[in-house]
Structure 1
Amino acid sequence: MRIKLGTKIGLTYLLIIFTVMLVFGYLIMHDIDQSFISERKNVLLGYANIIAERAAPYLPRQDAAYLNYLAEDFGESIGHRVLIFATDGTVLGDSSGLNQGQVLTVPVVASALQGESVSQTNYYPDFGRLLYLAVPVAAGKQIVGAIFISADINDIDRRLAQTRNRLFLAATGSAVVAFLLSLLLARIITVPVARLTRAATKMSAGDYGYQVKGSSRDELGQLAASFNEMSKKIQQEDKVRRQFIADASHELRSPVAALKVLVESLLLKPPESKEETLEFLTDINGQLDRLSKLVNDLLLLSKIEKNESSLKKEPVSIKQLLIEVKENLKPLAAAKQIEITITAGDNILWPVDRDMLYRAVYNLVDNAIKYSSAKSEVLLSSTANEENLTISVKDQGIGIAQEHLAKLFTRFYRVDKARERATGGIGLGLSIVQEIVNLHGGRVSVNSAPGCGTEFVISLPYN
């Protein structure tokens, strides 16, 4: 059987209260008992000392008649049994007359005959609790006997029982009130928890973006706010994921469809000449290159996002890296008679992942060449201070309208889709640049205007 959280909290409070009341009751009852006994003992001790003072002249000569009279008189007066002992243990006075003239061995009396005032409590099934008290009787410096008082203290037990009953009633009443209050307080706690549980269930069922209602400022309110924020982010990530899948599917479909058309054409009508065969193979190879580039870029993005491509930082000569990018893209630039100019200090060494940074700069320069006019220039520069490295790629191309700048780094986003496909672009190059720069803890920005060219700037911190 499942017990609700509120009931668990209520039962916990109930257990705590009963435990506290039990310990408190035991301690307070023990203290009350000792207080009552101590009070009774002090009263009896006063009586015993008075009796001892009166009996002192008569004990040396063992005047049994007077001592028995003294015991009976005080026994009747204080309502307790009084015995007067000689030093040899003989009872010379007994208010009850039961042990008159007998020799008794009583431990507290033996201690009193040694000069101590002693008391102790004893329990007997037939009589209940009795308090024994004995004081020595001295004549000068000599102990001549002892006074013994046996007091019935069952009235103390009855008073304690009454007090115990009152405490039990108080504890029971307090426990009931506390249990009801704890259920009320538990509801205040469990209602937000139930809302969070319901929200988590809805999210697990695919209802991303579900919001938890609640405005409290306590820890549960903060938890609800954090949950709502997480829910929004998951919803946004889900939208991005869905869009990514749709875009990737669309991009993969294009080369696959083109390949299917080319292959079907070959199956339906074999080439009649070597030139026609070469044309078909060239087209197929181009589509395969595009498909391979798309798959590789997608894999790289996936690895970067999962941090599978952990950075391998080492001091890298930035100028040498820029030169390598230029050399590898020289054929592409030469085809459009574009000059790549490098401006960078010879002594700039920066801790980066060389392969990653090379890929980022390569993508930017590749884009700059593709979107630059023939016989223009691409400027590749780098500067550094103690804290930051800056790499700039600036072209003299067609430029980008302001409304497109904020979306440039979005996956598969293309300003001019027809032109992108003509140049072999798939809309992932700038996304890869941004992910690589982010992995280095840096940032990438863009400045552009139609007809004024475009400049991309990478900024990387030293650490």
Structure 2
Amino acid sequence: MTVMKSPNMFLPFTGRFSRLQVKLFSYFAVSLLAILLIATAIESVVLNQLLTLPTSTQEHLQKLANEAKALLEKNDIEGLAKWEEQQDFTLYILDKNQNTVSHREMHPHFVFKLQYMRQLQQPMGDRVRKPLIGIPLFDSFNSDSPLTLVVQLNADLHPAQQLSSSLWLIRTLVGITVLFLFSSLLGRYLIRPLTHLQTGTKALAGGALTTRIAHHFSVKEPEFYHLATEFDHMAEQLQNSMQNQERLLRDVSHELRTPLARQEIALHLLEKQATAQQMPLISRFKDQNEQMAKLIDSILNFSRLNNANISLNPSPSSISSLRDRILRDIEFEAGDKQTINWTEPGEDIPLYTDTSYLISAIENVLRNALKYAGRECHIEVSCLALDETLKLEFQDDGPGISEEELITLFNPFTRMDEARHSSQGGYGLGLAIVKQSIWLLGGEVSARNSKDGGLCISMNLPLKLKSPLPV
């Protein structure tokens, strides 16, 4: 069986992204080389300092040299031999011929290392675990023959014991510093175009279909320039598609409304000439014609709200003014036994939003409650301003809906009770229009069943409509 390989599985070196590949490789190669060179240079500079005996050890060895000088001044050779044996170090006092003054025998390996003997202030090196250190002394027997205190340094006092951790600390700090610098440079190279792309994407998603970003990029950056031109092409196609959709909606609206208007005129003329037996049939035709006109209005309104290129016109307003305007119309539509009680807080709540969409959303919720909560329903409306957010709640005392139906309540063409909705003339678009209107105003809408029965719909939206993001 032949395995098909995706053409995008491997990026060719000479393909579209070859320049980006080369730049990324160069950044990482240069950063790695810089880490090695800088770490090596720093180690060579500080290595001798790291391998020099600490001051405390030098002072201790110098103290031993002073004790040896005191014994030599007393010419106490036997005491000198005992003193040498009692020390924590292996040490001898040697003359210029490297013979011991105390006549103690030296180990052959000690004799071999005398040729690599170091001074007290010299770096100890990192090859010999127990180096020999020579400290000059005066000769109480013969001033022409200088003496030297030779001390074999214990392994645990060798500076090289801490060398490994010090070198790794240097390498780590150098690595972090170099990587930070090169990451900053690489980040500026990558993040800047990605920021332009992110800003353009947000603007396009917010409805600014004229957004274009290719002018932010240079042809010297072919991988990003190509991506930007593809984005502009996508935005142009989207803009053309939305314009075609708007044109189609206008044409459909005109083509559907024209025959409906003619039918309405014809029914009006027939109504004047119809007999009593024909009037019920004409009334039925008029109702059907009116329902068709409402359905067309609902579909066009919902389609317009889903248009990404829709523009908002915010203006100052207040809850009290909206309340009076909405109740004046809705209470006229309510039945004789249907009531609406809109409770307001003590102080009026100022708003800066597109009131046309907010009024449309509230009216749709109230009409939905009047239509389906029952002929004797009571609707309670409350509003509250909290943390720059307006919260509206619409509580009815109807039968409510099931928990499963709450999930799809705001979907278009959703009808919970087909028989009841059909008899009431509903098309399942009212609450979908509510959701889209509140979303355009920067808010959200939700529904839940009340504990005391009935459906409660909540709206949360900002008191001040935020301005669109600049492109």
TM-score (norm 1): 0.41
Higher strand share: 1
Larger Rg: 1
TM-score (norm 2): 0.41
